[in-house]
Structures are given as structure tokens and as C-alpha cells.
Amino acid sequence: MELISNLGLGFATAFSFWNLAYCLIGVFLGTAIGVLPGLGPVATIAMLLPVTFGLSPETAMIMLAGIFYGAQYGGSTTAILVNLPGESSSVVTALDGYQMARQGHAGKALATAAIGSFIAGTIATVVIAFIAPALSNIALAFGPREYFSLMVLGLVASVVLASGSLLHAIGMIVLGLLLGLIGTDVNSGTLRYTFGRFELADGISFVVVAMGMFGIGEILVNLENETTRTMLSRKVEGLMPTRADLRRIMAPVARGTTIGSVLGILPGGGAMLASFAAYALEKKVSRQPERFGHGAIEGVAGPESANNAAAQTSFIPMLTLGIPSNPTMALMIGALIMQGIQPGPSVISEQPALFWGLIVSMWIGNVMLLVLNLPLIGLWVRMIGIPYHFLYPCIVFFCVIGVFSINNATFDIWLMALFGVAGYVLRKLDCEPAPLLLGFVLGPMLEEHLRRAMLISKGDPTGFFTSPISAGLLFVAAALLISILLPAIRNKREEAFQEEE
């Protein structure tokens, strides 16, 4: 009964005129930036964070969430039509989706992606509604020691799941933690690592870091390697799958949804990892595995369901524990803090309209995406043809306006440019910037809980191991690190990420 009353509050919140309007804006923008390679939900949400100042917390989160899961829909369109994934999680969709398009079944592939995404998103929303409150109740028993250990586990998991070199991923985490220390020490009031710049007294804004690393940095990479997009056809027909097609995709959709719902909660690239795992599973259970890579409809249904389910269940640790599972969730935490809300288990009890309104809006957003995507295929096809060198001045313009509007300081613009160059250099060195952003967001919280725990234990570090929950989390983190260092597992991990590329 309590769940029903909570969902009733969620429907009342989500179905208000402005929340519906901003949900529509969010999913439309999300689809559009998913369609346009080179843009992404992280850069887009970072650019739009200043806009959320004038919105209520519920409206702001509903719109930003719509951008995130809408981008998963849009990424499949370019993957299928141009063999150019708009999102990293859509890489697998391109393997069979593009082959279906070459065989004249582009409409069927797009419809399969939309249907699988809708079903997965709907089921994942139900999973959030059931699991999140229970997890939040457990989290209320967490103290500083448990939160510190949980954040250590999250950072370790993001290292393990990051693509590329383990050493690079660890380096990015450490760099992010160091950047998070810049500013005023909370306990002593002393300035740290500001190099005499008063502008850094409050630390570096995560919007500046995100826009620089994922906005400007991505622009520089794309301008260097601007891809020529060759459209197979500008007219897509046959959007309705046959009964036989529907029978073939139902099982892959169910399996992909299950995999995505579980893996989406993990720190790191949950949606991308889920899509690859779903594809590998479908190929393994298929009676004709040789069809995969040559236009198998199951190769579109499974991964698309998995990445959309993972995108939505990634909200669970963010809403219940205040722990981001990916860079987008890190920005969501930033948006909550900007609205004066402390992320964590208290959100459900203190902000029930926000929590349940956001959950219900995900279901509404999935319905909107299903209704929007198929009729607007023609618009998305035309957008794909826009040359990137026409798009990037607009992106830079919005980045500059967004960063300046936060503190009305030109210093932030120069800082964003510096992080943009740094992001470009890091990519050239094969260093993934996502762990850096997670370390940057978690760094101050990690330090705060460490200090609190040490004060409670009077400087005795064994307190982290006398708490069963804390000791268990640290044990899992250590086991993850040790296991990934084993030669056999490390080689398998490297092979998996080579296949992604």
C-alpha cells in the first residue's frame, strides 16, 4: 500500500504541466544529441546545468534524466543508418544494425531498437521503484566508516571497468581526487592548492571540469578525426516488424533487460558493459551464431534493451547512496547540490516528490520516446547529414555562456579551456577521462567521511575493519583489485576492450 501511495505522489508530480513539458524537452534533446556523434549526455547536461537554476528540483532532474536515457535511444539511429554510434553503448548495435540497413531492413532495425528500449526502460523503472527504497533504508544504517569504504569500492570498480590501461585508469582517479582537494579546507579554513588565486577558494566547479573534459576536449578530438558520414538511404521504410520478428526479439529483449538492470548499478561504464555482455550472451545461446555480424535482429534487440535498462538503473546508487555510477550521474549529483539537496538515503524521506516524481517521469519519458522516435526518423536522418564543423561553434558558444553564467567570472572560461586541452591530451595518451570526473566528485566526500571516521575512532584506522559492513566493502574492493591483476583475468579484460574498439 505504501508503494501505491508513493507512486500516486510520483504521478501527481510528474503529470504537472511544466514537468511534462520539460520531460518532453529532455527526451527530445537527448535523442538529438544521441543522433549527433561528437555530442553526448555528459557535455549536454553540463551545458544545461546553469539553466536549472531557475527550475524546481523536480523539474530540473526530470529534464536532465530525460536527456540521459533519451541519448541511449538516439545513439542507435546513427549506429544503424551510418555505422557511426552516437553513444559508446551503441557500438554493438552497429554490428548487426548497419548490416540490416545495408540489406534494406533499416526500418525494421530502428523499430526493434525502439521497442526493445521501451520495454527495457519500463521494466527498469519498476526495478528502481522496488529496489531503491529498500536500499535507501539499508543505507540509513551507514556511518562515516561505511560510506568511506563504499566510495573506495566505487572508485576501484570504476578503475576495473574503465577501458584501456589499468595504470591509466588509476592515474585518472588519483588526478580527480587531487583536483577535488583544491579550495578551502572544511575543518581548518585554510586554502589548499589555490596557487594564490582567490577564484579557487571555493574549489573548481564540476561544471567547468565536465564542460572542459567532455565538451571542449571532445570537440578537439572530433575536429581532428571528422568522419565522413555516408547515408545508405535518406528514406527509411518498413518500420513495423512482422510477427515472426517480434517472436525472435522477445527473448533477447528479456535477457538484455535483465543484464542491463543488474550491470547498470555498477560504477563505471554500466550501459556500455551491459550492451557488450548482452550481445555476447545472444551469440552464445543462438542456434545460428554465424548470423551475428551479418544482420541478426537479435544482435540489435539484446544490446539496445541492455543499454537502456542499464541507463535507468544507474540512478539507483545515485538516488539512494549519493554515489555516482558514471560521469552523468556525477553531474546529476552536482545538480542536486546546486538545488540545495544533499544526495543520499535521506532524499527519499526528505524529498519524496522529487524521488517518486523522477521515477514516474522515466516511464512517461519512455512512452514519449517510443511515440517520438519512429515518426521523427526523417528528421533524425537529416540531422545526421549536418557536417560537424558547422556544429562545433554552437557547442563552444553554449559551453562558454554556461560556464560564465555560474559565477560571472571569465576565469572559469579560461579554466574550462585549460581542461579542454587537458582532455584532448589525455585522450591522445589513451587515458579515459570518465574516472577522473568520478574521482573529482567523490574526492571531497571521501575526505569528509575519512576525517569523520578517524575523529570518531580517535585516530585508530582499525575502526574501518571492526565494522562488518565497512570491512566487507573493503574486502570486495581488495578482491577486485587483486583479481584484475591476475594474468588470466587481465588478458581477458584487455581482449574484451579490444573487441569493443
pLDDT digits (tens, 9 = 90+) for 419-456: 989 988 888 888 877 778 778 877 887 888 888 888 88
298-313 helix and 106-139 helix, angle to the nearest 10 degrees: 30
pLDDT 10s digits, 467-489: 888 888 889 888 877 877 766 55
Q: Would you say residue 381 lies in a domain? A: yes
Q: Would you say residue 244 lies in a domain? A: no
What is the sign, positive or negative, of the torsion defined by CA atoms of 195, 180, 478, 146?
positive
Q: Would you say residue 334 lies in a domain? A: yes
Q: Would you say residue 245 lies in a domain? A: no
Q: What percent of the chain has pLDDT over 70?
A: 84
What is the domain count for the chain? 1
Mean of the per-residue pLDDT values for the chain?
Answer: 78
pLDDT 10s digits, 2-16: 777 888 888 899 889
Q: Would you say residue 314 lies in a domain? A: yes
Q: Tell me if 266 sits within 8 A of 157, measured CB to CB.
A: yes
Q: Tell me if 474 sits within 8 A of 153, measured CB to CB.
A: yes
Q: Would you say residue 243 lies in a domain? A: no
For residue 248, the model assigns a pLDDT of 83
Q: Would you say residue 421 lies in a domain? A: yes
- Cα(347)–Cα(325) distance, integer angstroms: 17
Q: Would you say residue 242 lies in a domain? A: no
pTM: 0.71
Q: Residue 360's Cα: distance from chain center in Å? A: 19
Rounded mean pLDDT of 252-260? 88
* Residue 413 vs residue 169, higher pLDDT: 413
- Cα(74)–Cα(85) distance, integer angstroms: 9
The residue behind cell 535518406 is 234
With the CA atoms of 37, 264, 489 and 300 taken in that order, what torsion angle do they form, in degrees rounded to the nearest 10?
-50
Task: Give the count of beta carbons closer than 10 Å to the beta carbon of residue 175.
Answer: 18
pLDDT 10s digits, 330-355: 788 878 887 888 777 778 778 888 88
In this prediction, residue 164 has a pLDDT band, given cuts at 50, 70 and 90, of low
The residue segments making up the domain with residue 97 are 2-237+250-498
